[in-house]
Amino acid sequence: MDPDLSATNQPYTYGSDDPVNESDRTGDDAATVVEQFPLRSGGTTPLREGCSTCNFGLWKINNKHNLYNLNIIAYTVLYGYRANPSPGVYEYLQAFSNVYSSSLQINLLVVSNQNAGFDPRILGLEVGIVTAYCVGVTECPMWVNVVGLRPIATLTSVFSYVNESDWD
């Protein structure tokens, strides 16, 4: 915890000569491609390393959403329901169950931005996977990462706010 917050309960504010988190904020490896996921429409979309302050990539998926199982991201991008909420941006949706306990289920949502990036670290390159998370729960349960998963056809009611006609 930073010194301001522990003493005052007020957020840390950055001074003009502040070295705090500078290396973290740079994200020099953010553009590094970790995986290339095949798409149903042909071609691939990259998963980049990302960083703690990047809004794209593996860092956020791992550390914010507790999702380390890249196989289910690959499956969802290839076979999941798909929506196209804005030009070049796709949402993919797939339900999975635990192979050892079929009552344990998660719905995975993956977002891929297949446009060129504007962040200098990915300038002119495809952004790729922006985020992926388990819908309706605070974070992906650990079993998602450590046991086998089986894709299932039916999505659960957590998608009540989603217009089904938007998905194919």
Residues of this chain that bind other proteins (CB under 8 A): 1-2, 4-5, 9, 11-16, 18, 21, 24, 52-56, 59, 62-66, 68, 85-87, 109, 111, 113, 115-120, 122-123, 127, 130-131, 133, 135-136, 138-139, 145, 161
Rounded to a whole number of angstroms, the minimum distance from the CB of residue 106 to other proteins is 13
Burial class of residue 161, CB neighbours in 10 A (0-12, 13-18, 19+): exposed
d(C-alpha 153, C-alpha 166), whole Å:
17
Q: Which is nearer to other proteins, 25 or 102 (CB)?
A: 25
Q: Which is nearer to other proteins, 51 or 96 (CB)?
A: 51
Q: Which is nearer to other proteins, 12 or 152 (CB)?
A: 12
d(C-alpha 105, C-alpha 141), whole Å:
10
Q: Report H helices in the chain.
A: 3-8, 22-26, 58-63, 70-79, 143-146
